Structure 1
Amino acid sequence: MDSINLEIPSLPDNVRIVESFIDNSKDKYHLNDDVYGNIMIAVTEAVNNAIQHGNNGDKDKLVKLTMSHSDEQIRFTIGDEGPGFDYDSLPDPTAPENLHKPCGRGIFLMKHLCDEVEFNNDGKEVVLAFYLN
């Protein structure tokens, strides 16, 4: 399994670096448009969460991204240096009282766009897997 690592300071503008990283992966691994689109949304959402919620926008804290690729799947591991969170007790973003809230949909989106989503290290790390066949 190929593996590439990237570390970025927790600044919102650095999401652009992640977007280029994903663009390069599309060409390198010949990802189809559907998989590429799902990866772009889910991974940038996870990185945004790591920057804003995990590291509280602290530019001295890093977000670590690892991409692993095999013939069957491509996996992204996104980690932050924050305190973690309880990913099992998040409010349902589709509940009527939450529909108009500006945040709370990121993990919901990840779960719908990825083939597998796994939280590790008390929520400080998320693994997003996309099947290629």
Structure 2
Amino acid sequence: MNDISINIPSLAENIRIVESFIDNAKEELSLNDDIYGNIMIAITESVNNAIIHGNQGDKNKNVELSLSVENNVLVFFVEDQGNGFDYNSLPDPTAPENIDKPGGRGIFLMKALSDELEFQNEGKTIKLSFYLD
């Protein structure tokens, strides 16, 4: 499978494009249901964050989603056109004062569901890796 990427205008309804992209990868790579479920949640969450927080819902800004396979590792990059953020000072969603807050779990979820999570480009790019074996 070659590297593939798509650009998605920052509209919440475009999450369905992301879901199709992941469904195609599942078919192409014969992913099992466990890894597929983890990828679907982590990547849609990441793109959602890029749309809402990164690009501030500006439909004139795109989110780029790309996928490659390197040495049995499925690697996704999600990049927005926002200003980035300080990913080292995120509140802990499991802390008592944050338990009842509706947001703040996205990155926590992405870390839990992916095998590796890395921020790049001042937080404008997120790299999520999933081991295939």
| TM-score normalised by L of structure 1 | 0.97
Amino acid at match of 2:60: D
Aligned equivalents of 2:28, 2:71: Cα separation in 1? 13
Aligned position for 1:32? 32
List runs of 5+ in structure 2 lacking aligned partners.
Answer: none
Amino acid at match of 2:45: E
Amino acid at match of 1:12: A
Root-mean-square deviation over aligned CA pairs: 0.9
Please, which moves more after superposition, 15-24 or 1-10? Answer: 1-10
Aligned equivalents of 1:35, 1:71: Cα separation in 2? 16
Q: What is the CA-CA distance between 1:32 and the residue it aligns to? A: 0.5
Q: What is the CA-CA distance between 1:2 and the residue it aligns to? A: 2.3
Amino acid at match of 2:13: D
Identity %: 63
Aligned position for 1:111? 111
- Residue by residue over 1:102-121, the C-alpha shift from the partner in whole angstroms, topping out at 9 and shown as x without a partner, is 11000000111000001000
Aligned residues: 133
Tell me if structure 2 keeps the 8 A contact 1:2–1:70: no
List runs of 5+ in structure 1 lacking aligned partners.
Answer: none
Q: What is the CA-CA distance between 1:66 and the residue it aligns to? A: 0.5
| TM-score normalised by L of structure 2 | 0.97
Q: What is the CA-CA distance between 1:71 and the residue it aligns to? A: 5.0
- Residue by residue over 1:4-29, the C-alpha shift from the partner in whole angstroms, topping out at 9 and shown as x without a partner, is 01001000000000001101110110
Does residue 106 of structure 2 align to residue 102 of structure 1?
no
Aligned position for 1:12? 12
Amino acid at match of 1:19: E
Does residue 82 of structure 2 align to residue 78 of structure 1?
no
